[in-house]
Chains A and B, each alone.
Chain A
Amino acid sequence: MPDSDNNTNSVIAAIDVGSSAIRMAIAQWDASGRFEELENLSRGVALGKDVFTDGHISEQCIQAACETLRGFRKTMDTYGVQKYRAVATSAAREAVNTDTFVDRVFMRTGIEVEVIDGPEENRLTYLAVADILKDEMRKGNKETLLVEVGGGSADISFIRNGGPVHAGTYPLGALRLRQSLAGVDRGPGHRVAALDRYIHTTLETMKRSIPFEKVSEVIAVGGDVRFTARQLEGAAKHLYSIPRSDFLQFCDQISRYDEDQLVKQYHISYVEAETLVPALRVYKQLLEKTAAETVMIPTANIRRGMLLDLICSSGQGNIEELSREILSSAREVARKYQTDLNHVDNVASLSAQMFDQLRQDHGLDGHARMLLQAAALLHDIGLFVNSREHHKHSQYLIGSSEIFGLSARDAEIVGNIARYHRRAMPQRSHPSYQNLEAAERMEVCKLAAILKIANALDKDHTQKVQRLELEHQDSEIVLKAHTRSDTDLALEQVTLQKKADLFEEIYGKRVTLQQIPGAD
């Protein structure tokens, strides 16, 4: 929030410790909400090089990373940056000595690096992309592929009508590809052929979850593809739109060079040259699988997403926007498991209404609201496996589904909420519950209690209750359910008595249902 006396806090920073480089963006936003990036620093540090071969971040890399981050720290200090976030992605995620790495960086630089998982990485990148493509992505009926080839992995999301449907992280990072093919050394031609085979095999496995042939638009993100855009279009832009044939031709042209030639020809560093060809081969094959006529290349990156996220978390942005995307993805998963969508939509809506009117009682934030809604949408997917113990099936299915924008931790919480929507109350003896931290356990209880009641209100899956009003009394909460005048809530009354156990224990209040007919 810009503060007119002292706007120190309006300068924020985002650091991204990637597999081939460490990068930082420093930005400010002013009173009018204008957002301006002040600094963009990038230094090639190939953490991934060692990780993807022997699993370790080498001592040399740790030192180089510390050195780089110390420089970043100094730059942040110039602006008096207080608020920042530093994340590390796939290389750090996979290394066996990640803890040492994070600790060494902290001791040397005071920067606390947070190792984030694939979905969180996706979420952050998506924030940046969505910010640039706001209007573009809303445009009616179409299917879009959002691709970012990083150093360690490739993040690929399938978006339908502006909402993410499927998101996955695949081992197609450029540096990883390069390292795994390091043995192939019979000229660029052979290397490219080997690369293509490897990529092809991985993409084949994706066909089940992504209908490539329906994709009419490809959005590509990442340093390598931005380089391509600059080469093809010259001037720096916010959003490039490259014709399919130009893009494919450039990929082929550049694949003919070895790294020395790339450095010479394009004045890029060796670190950049190393990832260029492998990354472009991935983009190329993906593009070829689709029917897209152009490649959209927004100058979006994870740092931009982090900056936007930082602004959001300080109350500047709109969390609704992201919740929308996550919930749309969750709903898509529910559809995949043939859930009764009318039922879960209704439960999600009732849950949210209760959540909002219980703010004084649970004290949770908008993020928790989103988790509750996601759990409501997903609570029944276990029925796909078996109706017996379906809450348990729901829990593990949620854990193994890639839900866009939902971090592993979030998914665990959602799974737990869904699990406790029926039957047993949360217990420390349940391993997945016990794995949570105390605060998270409390959150699960509070949210599961709400879900359980909301679910009871649509016991017969006919969505009789659309609007819910909560009346707070001393020791009781009255659920005033607005229904049509001919509606009978007898079944719900009975069910509620059985399902209110968790709520009463957690919130310390009895729950009664009162029908308000006449909402015709």
Chain B
Amino acid sequence: MANESLYSRFPAPIETPPPELLINRELSLLEFNRRVWREGMDPETPLLERLRFLSIVLSNLDQFFLVRVARLKTQSLANESSHCPTGISNADLLDAISGKAHDLVNDVYESFAGLVSDLRQAGIALVSLDELDEEAHAVLDEKFESEIFPALTPLAVKQKRPFPLLFNLSLNLAVRLQLRDGGRRLAVVQVPATLPRLIEIHAGKGSQKTFVLLEEVVARNVSRLFLGYKVLETRMFRITRDADYELDDEGAENFIHAVEEQLRRRRINEPVRLELQSPASPSLTRLLQKSLRLTDADIYPVRCPLDLRGLLTLCDLPGFDTLRYPLMPPVGMIAPIDRQDLFALAAREDLLFHHPYESFEPVVELVRQASVDSKVLAIKQTLYRTSGDSPIVRALEAAALNGKQVTVLVELTARFDEERNISWARKLETAGAHVIYGLEGFKTHAKILLIVRREPQGIRRYVHLSTGNYNDRTARLYTDMGLLTSREDIGSDASGFFNAITGFSDPPSYQKLAMAPLGLRERIISLIERESVRAREGQQSLIRAKMNSLIDLPLVMALCEAARAGVNIQLCVRGVCMLRPGLPDFSGNLKIFSIIDRFLEHSRVFHFYNGGSDEVYLSSADWMPRNLDRRIELMFPVDCRAARRKVLQALDIIFSDNTKAWDLQTDGSYAKRSPATDEPPIRSQYKLYEAALRQLEQQLQEAHFQLRPIEAR
């Protein structure tokens, strides 16, 4: 402990955060989506990538309404007082959200309109049916008759009866009908989700690609479903319902069953938003609004098409490479990895992987080698949001069949992903693996793999820890860091971790790891405070932390305390950030920025200068109460010098980005950095890729010059 008197020279610690220090998290999330939109409208961004960004903004908004807005509305209806520490009332907040969300949706669709015409010039045309010739119409009519019509089911909307149950976020057609006697009716037709949204016209003719939207074909022919009626108006719409739920895992005989049940329930919750094709007649709007019990602000009139996710197939269209980012295939290892003994490599020194610049394949290969290695006794792993047909799952299955002890914790309650999780978990179990379907009360978000191996010198444990999931698909899109080590202390901690989550043991006291909810937050706070103490003593001090969200108030407070103590604090927070930088009394010493580029920034990296003996930690956890209190998360140190240097160099590059970085301003908005006139542009994701290539080159050279002495026999 430092000299007590030192503290007296500094202002007293702040007990609770003053409201002006905080930014509301919902508004911050909308700001994040605004940055994504800006990337999507940036003329520098290739056209098809822009389409992808615009689609991401809309699907982010879907989730936002589904969960956050739904929760706020429920609270508001129940007259609960605000939960937001900024002190904003629920009603004011909902108003503010609605204003910003409407603006954002309008902006996205405006950009989309421009994008459609740009794409058309580039050879990809999304056209309306009116533009088509006779021949094309004939083909479409035929298609409607044979493929689309059989998949359509009209639903009548009757007065005084509940509105038809429509799937959450499904695309529907509202049809206003007139009877022969002059009476009016409303009907709903779901656009079949099983058919592709885009229909190609004149396929194979010329290099120009032409598409029409499925829903337009449905709309044009919809009268076929309502013989004897006159169709007055057809409009697309989409309903977002409350999907915020807490899974009750008590008393559920079969956990899988409970999740399946939850999926079914999701579509009958209260609507929170209506997206409606504009312009719609006032009478249709009123009718839908009344039936769904929505306010004016809940209605989002949009120009077609709704839900851009269905258009993402365009992004993968073959032959339009110039409309996409240049390829950056993940850099592999020095030799073909299937010929490398990864265990021998990892036994020699810790390996640090930086994805997606570097390939995820070694991690997959490690599990694959383990599955057939006679020395391997056990493989234990957490799997969260892993695709069912992933090579890791196949390797684990093979390992179980080969008689290895395989323990897998699969997390079924990953939001919106349950359906994908369930089937393959059952398959693993059939192969003989010990499958744990989550832990009561906690989601397991930690990413850890333990391989126990019997070697001539004794038992040796190999541990892979990561900031990202064991998902080979996202490992090509998300930036993450992983550490493969055979250190005894971490091996022992890893065993303890798995003994705890399998229920074989109570949670151990860790040597190297820190685990949420048992002390991860406290660990971070003590690391931050150590830096404060050094700053107060007049030493040089620095905290650099990179994460996706900063929402946890105790950590926000700790950071402010450190900033006030004079610690140089730089934060790279991709998404929501509740800490307001630049307030002279609190956060003047704090700089926060966000990077939005082709890869989704996902790694959580914390660097403490620690008086010159730098410490670096990686973690699966964001600085959010949810992660630190209600999830099983891990933080681990990078103790090996070479690996630590690699992380620090990566941080240097990331924090110097002046091309895709956005600085958080004191007013809560973000300003995009641009290189000063005498400064070279630094785009960190590209620089990191170059670094990965250079590393490989260097290894190749070293391998070339390596001398291999022959040991005496």
Contact = CB atoms under 8 A, between A and B. Distances in A.
A414 to B, nearest CB: 39
A53 interface: no
B699 interface: no
Given A10-B458, A42-B508, A79-B452, A71 B377 contact: no
A4 interface: yes
B458 A75 contact: no
A7 B454 contact: yes
Contacts of B434: 74
B520 to A, nearest CB: 10
Interface in A31-82: 31, 36-44, 68, 71-72, 74-75, 77-80
Interface string A1-41: 01010010011000000000100000011110000111111
A180 interface: no
A13 B44 CA distance: 64
B456 A36 contact: no
A38 B492 contact: yes
A269 B456 CA distance: 39
A36 B491 CA distance: 12
Interface string B496-531: 100100111111110100000011001000000000
Contact of A11 (B459, B492, B509): B459
Among the interface residues B499, B503, B511, which one has the most CB atoms of the partner chain A within 10 A? B499
Nearest to B505: A41
A75 B504 contact: yes
Nearest to B488: A36
Contact-residue size bin, chain A (C-beta under 8 Å from the other chain): 20 to 34
A28 B458 contact: yes
Contact of A78 (B377, B456, B503, B509): B377
A38 B519 CA distance: 23
Contact of B505 (A4, A10, A28, A43): A43
B33 interface: no
B505 A71 contact: yes
B511 A38 contact: no
B373 to A, nearest CB: 15
Contact of A75 (B459, B492, B499, B509): B499
Interface string A235-271: 0100000000000000000000000000000010101
Contacts of B452: 78-79
Q: Is the interface of B mostly helix, strand, loop or mixed?
A: mixed
B88 to A, nearest CB: 30
Nearest to B496: A40
A377 to B, nearest CB: 41
B377 A79 contact: yes
A230 interface: yes
B405 interface: yes
A267 B508 CA distance: 11
B628 to A, nearest CB: 12
Interface in A69-97: 71-72, 74-75, 77-80
Interface string B475-499: 0000000000000100010011001
A14 to B, nearest CB: 14
B509 A230 contact: yes
B518 A80 contact: no
A258 B25 CA distance: 37
B508 A77 contact: no
In the A-B complex, the 5 residue pairs with the closest CB atoms: A71-B504, A41-B505, A78-B378, A30-B458, A267-B518
Interface of B: 377-378, 405, 434, 452, 454, 456-459, 461, 488, 492, 495-496, 499, 502-509, 511, 518-519, 522
27 contacts: A2-B458, A4-B456, A10-B458, A29-B458, A37-B492, A39-B499, A40-B505, A41-B499, A41-B505, A43-B506, A68-B504, A71-B499, A71-B504, A72-B504, A74-B434, A74-B504, A75-B499, A78-B377, A78-B405, A79-B454, A79-B459, A236-B509, A236-B511, A267-B518, A267-B522, A269-B507, A271-B506
Given A38-B495, A40-B508, A269-B507, 11 more contacts: A21-B506, A28-B459, A36-B458, A38-B459, A38-B492, A39-B499, A41-B505, A71-B505, A74-B434, A75-B499, A80-B377
